[in-house]
Structure 1
């Protein structure tokens, strides 16, 4: 797993796409919103964090 962290429009998606093109292995790019939405609520530490803001 590789995590790309940065401000909006800082090139995270471009880097992930370049990694997908260059690697002979399968790389899957999952955005944070997608990850949060596919994680069951009972198992998500994100829900605990987000509820405090």
Structure 2
């Protein structure tokens, strides 16, 4: 993933909710873009997608 804004994050959160309702996991892998990592850190959403917080 190389770009994600609040609309993209909302879409990911909805997809995660749908997956969990179906009994599945929804994780993000290979997230290396600093702006995406920062968005996930600022919103505390990283752990929801199987990611830890970035080192401060």
Output the TM-score relative to the length of structure 2: 0.35
Query: Scaled by the length of structure 1, what TM-score is found?
Result: 0.36
Larger Rg: 1
